[in-house]
Structure 1
């Protein structure tokens, strides 16, 4: 990503509604499908917000980010072991992780999805859990995607097929951020359609941040009760390494 985006992430990811909603869904996925006992890797850990949240699991944690400064920030924020590295060529031995999370990484222009998924499978132990978050729909590509170097967005069906082709089993692919999708379309395609528009990561007025988070929280509760959304701004995937 652009260096400025790491600064925005570092400042916002503890409080901003989007990060809190995303991290909550990752935690839900690992609660449902924890995989075997052992270490959890966050591949593409950024500045460490998710690693800090994952500490609540009481499991050993490791993080990797392409940017060395971001990896250092992640260690300072979470206390996890972190390193700089490439998702296409993970610097870890085979089968050393019980679970692996990776949020909005396969979409980056420097990442080859098939290569990264092969690496994720390689470093997971048999029975290990993979949790991914991906941005949805190529037509939602915006100035923010350019700033964070996203070159691709996905559909739930296409992303699930990628995981199965990479050898993962019990693949779940579910849209989320469905309630707010119309607002995303308005913001990205109308209000900030200019190529020079600023990042989506920014401080929100407290009332607005609380309202947006409440919408995602209500959606999360309904999802736990079994409701599945046919569309959404993001896709959460959970799979098992056989």
Structure 2
């Protein structure tokens, strides 16, 4: 990503509604499917917000980000071991991790999804859990995607097929940020449709941030009761390494 985007992430990820909603869903996924005992890797850890939340699991943690400065920030923020490296060529031993999270990484233009998934498969131990978050729908590509160097977006079906082709089983996909999808489309395709539009990551007025988070919390509650959404701005995928 552009350096300015890392600065925005670092400042926002502890409080901004979207990060809080994402991190809660990743923790939900690991609670449902924790994998065997062992370490957790966050591949594409950015500045460490998710690593800090993963620390509540009480499991050994490691982080990796392509940007060395971001990896250093992640280590300082979370207390985890974080290193600079390439998702296409992970600097870790075979079967080193019991679970692996990776949020909005396979969409990046510097990442080869097939190569990265092969590496995720390699470093997970048998029975290990993979948790991915992916941006949904090519038609939602926006100026924000350009700023964070996203080259692709996914559907639940395309993500499921890609992960299954990499050798993972028990693949489960769920759309989320569903209730806010109309507002997301309006914001990206109308209000900020020009190439010079600002990043989507920015401070929100407290009342608006609280309102948006309340919508995602209601959606999460309904999802935990069994409701599945036919569309959404993001896709959460969980799979197991056989």
Using structure 1 for the length normalisation, give the TM-score.
Answer: 1.00
Aligned to 1:163: 163
Residues 131-146 of structure 1 mapped to structure 2, 5 A cutoff: 131-146=131-146
Separation in structure 2 between the aligned mates of residue 92 and residue 194 of structure 1, nearest angstrom = 41
Three-state SS of the structure 1 residue aligned to 2:101 is strand
TM-aligned CA deviation for residue 101 of structure 1: 0.0
Three-state SS of the structure 1 residue aligned to 2:73 is helix
Using structure 2 for the length normalisation, give the TM-score.
Answer: 1.00
Gaps of 5+ in 2: none
Matched positions, count: 242
Aligned to 2:49: 49
Three-state SS of the structure 1 residue aligned to 2:203 is coil
C-alpha RMSD over aligned residues: 0.2
Separation in structure 1 between the aligned mates of residue 98 and residue 30 of structure 2, nearest angstrom = 11
Separation in structure 2 between the aligned mates of residue 197 and residue 72 of structure 1, nearest angstrom = 29
Three-state SS of the structure 1 residue aligned to 2:62 is strand
Separation in structure 2 between the aligned mates of residue 2 and residue 223 of structure 1, nearest angstrom = 34
Separation in structure 1 between the aligned mates of residue 149 and residue 131 of structure 2, nearest angstrom = 21
1:65-89 Cα shifts (integer Å, max 9, x gaps): 0000000000000000010000000
Gaps of 5+ in 1: none
Separation in structure 2 between the aligned mates of residue 131 and residue 62 of structure 1, nearest angstrom = 15
TM-aligned CA deviation for residue 33 of structure 1: 0.2
Separation in structure 2 between the aligned mates of residue 129 and residue 98 of structure 1, nearest angstrom = 7
TM-aligned CA deviation for residue 8 of structure 1: 0.1
TM-aligned CA deviation for residue 32 of structure 1: 0.2
Separation in structure 1 between the aligned mates of residue 217 and residue 119 of structure 2, nearest angstrom = 33
Aligned to 2:100: 100
Three-state SS of the structure 2 residue aligned to 1:172 is strand
